[in-house]
Every structure is written in C-alpha cells, then in structure tokens.
Structure 1
C-alpha cells in the first residue's frame, strides 16, 4: 500500500458513476443532491399518470359525449365531479339509436348484425355505438372498478361487444352472462350502485337536511322577510340604513325597523328573527345590495322587452 492512500480510496466510486447519480440544484450551484435514478423514473411516471387521469372536465349535461365508444372513462374526471357525471348519464339514459341498418359482422353464412328489439329485452343498460358498431353496458361504464373478465365486464365497458351470434343462444346468451347469475356479480353491483346514487333519500346529505328541516324553513323565512323589506323600501324610495344599527338603538334604520314591524304581527316571523344566529340573519348590507341588484336586473329586462315589442310593431 502506497504512502498517503487510505483503504477507502480502493473502494470509492468512480467519478463518472458519482456524476451520473447527482443532481445539481440550479439555485445552489455548489450543492449536489444524491438522487436515485429509480426515484426519478417513478416521479416522472406518477406525473404522467396524474396528467392522464384528470383530462376530462364536466361542464354540464349537454356537453357529455353520448357515444359509448368515444366518451371518456369515469376515472378520467376529477373525483369531485364523478357522481355528477354519473347522475347526468343516468338522466340521459342508455344510448339506443334506432338505425335503419346496423353494421354486419362475420363472413360467409356467419354474417349477423345488432337487432333493435334487443333494447326491449335490456332497456335499462344496453347501449349501441354508432362509431364502433358495438354494444356496451351503461351501468358497468358508470361504476365498474376493475376490468374483471368474469361476465365480460371489460368487453362491455372498454372494447365493446360484437359477437352477435352469442346473443340468441338461450341460457348462454352473452347479455345474460354479462349480467351474471350471482347477486354480487360485477354488473349487479354496478346496478345497485346506480340505484343508490339516485336514491337521494338514503344519502347522508338528505338525512341531515330532514333533521334540520325546521332550521331550513326558518332560514327561508328570514330571506323572504329581507326580500319583502327591500322591495317595499325600494318602491317607496326610502333609505335602507340608519346611523345606529346596534341592538340598543331606538331607531336602527328603515330596513331593520321594518323587519321588527313585520315580526310584531306574525309570531313565526318574530321567532325566526329572534332565534337567528349571527351569520343567518340575512341583514348585512351586502345581502341588501344583492337583493336590490336582482330587482334592478328584472326591471331592466322588463324595460328592454317592452322597447323591443314597441320597435317590432312600428
């Protein structure tokens, strides 16, 4: 062993290998961070998957793609929009075009085509694509979580079914096999999920709304009181606010005093105003201006309609 050399020098990494696994931080040119290459590849792959996942945005029921072969997968929508997309598709119903001639598949004597009367046998879920000329399942498209080969769920959601010979085959019918004989089959689970989604009474939000029905009715009554007060003060060209609107004031301004007057002649109004929380009174100046703005918009719209009618008759 030569003089001045330590044992570490014989087992140290080569310069090229060290530089290959180093990242130079742009803001700190003298600092090097050891970053494994596998970690870089994983981060790049995760970024690409995230980009591909949320590449569809729900902008309204009228913008949805109806063709089963062309529409985006449910997993491509943002998580907070997926239930809205599902409800929209269920409201539209399955795509069942009535074509004069459906495309023929097969060769020789094996040529067959889709039959429109199949929609009558499976009206809730069976779909047909005019672009791919294949059959699909609406329920499995909305709630299928895996490409299970059992029952052909991947065929009816991704690729599309086209083997028409297997439809009119008694118990071996491809559509019946897709549904499955077990109550927990992929298709039946998707069907139950669709029913649960449309069952608003079973939702937690609805149960909470029923429990708070009294509070909701009181909030609605407070809003009506504020709307009526703004309407009357506006029609009489009266000022809304007073110099002192505190609870101890003897004159809190026309808006608040009018609400008190309405409460004197209606016990329900009095109870709603008395029990209102600080953020549920609907008396803030911003709310008054918003209500007034709605009235102004309606008046301008009415004037424009009258002027349009006059011009059209002259």
Structure 2
C-alpha cells in the first residue's frame, strides 16, 4: 500500500453520501490496534441490504421461474397456432398427453374467403389455400395473427433459444409471402431443409415414431425377449420329454457317433429328430437350429 493512502480512498463514494472528508486540521480518531474493521462492502451490505445483482432468497425463487401451463383436457386446448402455449411450457410429465391431444385434434388449416394481405402498398401479398396441398402434413395458418406455422416443429421441436429465426414457424409465425414458391429460395422448402437431420425433419421423424408406439425400442426389445423365452421353454420341454421316455424304457442315451453326418446319432438325438418331423415349431429350436451352447 502507498504511504499516506487510506483504505477507503480506493472506493468511490456514492452520490448523495453525507460523509464529509476530514480536513487536515481535524484530528483523526485512533483505532485500537487489536480491532479489525469490517470491509466497506460488508458495511454497505448490512446497511442497505443485498445488492440487486445478488441472488434472491430461496422463498422468492418461485417468483422468477417461468409459469407452467397445466394440461386440463383436450377440450381446453387452444387450437389457433398463434394463441396456443408452446409444448415446453407444459410440465414434462404432461407433454406427451398434450401431443396426443393435438394429434387427435388435427392440423389447423382454415379455408377463408380472404386472407389478410401484407407488404407495401401496391405489392401486398396474401396466403394461398393451395399451399396446404403442397405441404399438407405440417403447414398451419393462424386466423388470429394471419401467419403460417409448422405443426411438427410445434409438437417436437427442441430449439427454445429463439435465435437465428429458429422460432419463426413455432412462436412468431411466418408472414413473408413473397418468398413462397421462389425457386430454391422458397421459405417453406428452406424450413424443411435439404439435410435429413434438419430440425424440421427430426421433428417429423419424432412425430412418426411417437405415433408408431408398437415400433418403439422398448416394445421391440420386450417382444424379442418374450419370443426368446418361449423358444427356450419349448426346447427344454422337448428335451425333458425325451429324457423321461428313454428313462422309462431303460434305453441308452448316447450313440456311437453323434456327429451331424452320422446315420444313427443315438437314441436321444434321434428321438428329438422324430418329434421335430411332426412339429415345425420344435424343428426351429432344437439341435442345429438352437443358438450357441443350446445345441
């Protein structure tokens, strides 16, 4: 520290402070050497409360959080694309129910006598109903905002940052009709994207997977596991039945040559082959058709 400088000289006083600077003739009070003065910032915190930039108390945190929209039933859903809440505004445990409800209600494609025109005087353009025929599965129109929206991106879009125009077809709505059917610059085609992993195509695939619940990975694995269990059970039942019959008849199990090329592979294997001739389901699960060590 520089000589002659006090600690409070490095802090800029606030405007309106009533503390006067001591003159050279005034005697400064002598502080005891065994006392430590609290930092100036701590004193200011105790006098004026927490700084505005500091986080709020735990009891006040709910006031700053985004208000969630609760799903109360399909009859209470807002159909208009410009007025409906976004999917990510619903609680996570209700979003699939909301998606099913909107899929049941269907896409919003109203047929109006006159669509609202946008643009400068003399060059105003309107939405055309024929565009629904070109993009029948996802293109929507709002009668409230008179803008176009994407049904798939609304249901399964994951971009909530609202940067780079990513929310045009979900939140703000598209209204620049001049860029529709403008060759490679067509706004609707650009929204779909040329890449298979574009945001719109990913949302479309997610919607198709959502509708195809039977093809869900969990269901496929469950069906496969159940089929393997049934095949294993049938293989064991046939083997037990052959063992019981040979034991009852006091017959030998093994043969002299049990290789697949042998003409007589022993009583046990030959009995299994006999049962397989009369039951195709048994033939599919025993001997050479059995997996791995089950042979």
Q: Is TM-score (shorter-chain normalized) higher than 0.5?
A: yes
* CA 1:12–1:125: 2 relative to 1, 3 Å: closer
Which residue in the other structure is 2:208 paired with? Answer: 195
* C-alpha distance after superposition, 1:68-111 (max 9, x if no partner): 00000111111100011112212222200011111111222211
Larger Rg: 2
Number of residue-to-residue matches in the alignment: 199
Which residue in the other structure is 1:167 paired with? Answer: 180
Higher share of residues assigned helix: 1
Which residue in the other structure is 2:129 paired with? Answer: 116
Which residue in the other structure is 2:46 paired with? Answer: 19
Instruction: Please tell me whether the aligned partners of residues 68 and 95 of structure 1 are also in contact (alpha carbons under 8 angstroms).
Output: yes
Equivalent position to 2:167, from 143, 147, 154: 154
Which residue in the other structure is 2:81 paired with? Answer: 68
Distance 1:3 1:119 in 2: 85
Equivalent position to 1:100, from 109, 113, 116: 113
Instruction: Please tell me whether the aligned partners of residues 140 and 153 of structure 1 are also in contact (alpha carbons under 8 angstroms).
Output: no
Which residue in the other structure is 1:5 paired with? Answer: 32
* CA 1:11–1:183: 2 relative to 1, 3 Å: same
Distance 1:14 1:148 in 2: 38
Question: Runs of 4 or more off by more than 6 Å in structure 1?
Answer: 1-4, 211-214
* C-alpha distance after superposition, 1:164-219 (max 9, x if no partner): 111021221110011111111111111111111111013355347647989xxxxx
* CA 1:185–1:12: 2 relative to 1, 3 Å: closer
Distance 1:98 1:184 in 2: 32
Instruction: Please tell me whether the aligned partners of residues 53 and 77 of structure 1 are also in contact (alpha carbons under 8 angstroms).
Output: no
SS, match of residue 41 in structure 1: coil
Instruction: Please tell me whether the aligned partners of residues 149 and 174 of structure 2 are also in contact (alpha carbons under 8 angstroms).
Output: yes
Instruction: Please tell me whether the aligned partners of residues 45 and 51 of structure 2 are also in contact (alpha carbons under 8 angstroms).
Output: no
How well do the aligned residues superpose, as a CA RMSD in angstroms? 3.2
SS, match of residue 40 in structure 1: coil
List runs of 5+ in structure 2 lacking aligned partners: 1-27, 228-295
Q: What pairs up with 1:1-314 in 2 under 5 angstroms? A: 5-6=32-33, 8-10=35-37, 12-13=39-40, 16-17=43-44, 19-20=46-47, 38-41=53-56, 46-50=61-65, 52-54=66-68, 56-146=69-159, 147=161, 152-203=165-216, 206-207=219-220, 210=223
SS, match of residue 44 in structure 2: helix
Q: CA deviation at 1:121?
A: 0.5
Q: CA deviation at 1:38?
A: 4.6
Distance 1:98 1:60 in 2: 26
Instruction: Please tell me whether the aligned partners of residues 95 and 128 of structure 1 are also in contact (alpha carbons under 8 angstroms).
Output: yes
* C-alpha distance after superposition, 1:199-251 (max 9, x if no partner): 1013355347647989xxxxxxxxxxxxxxxxxxxxxxxxxxxxxxxxxxxxx
Instruction: Please tell me whether the aligned partners of residues 153 and 186 of structure 1 are also in contact (alpha carbons under 8 angstroms).
Output: no
Distance 2:41 2:132 in 1: 70
Instruction: Please tell me whether the aligned partners of residues 126 and 138 of structure 1 are also in contact (alpha carbons under 8 angstroms).
Output: yes
SS, match of residue 9 in structure 1: coil
Instruction: Please tell me whether the aligned partners of residues 93 and 124 of structure 1 are also in contact (alpha carbons under 8 angstroms).
Output: no
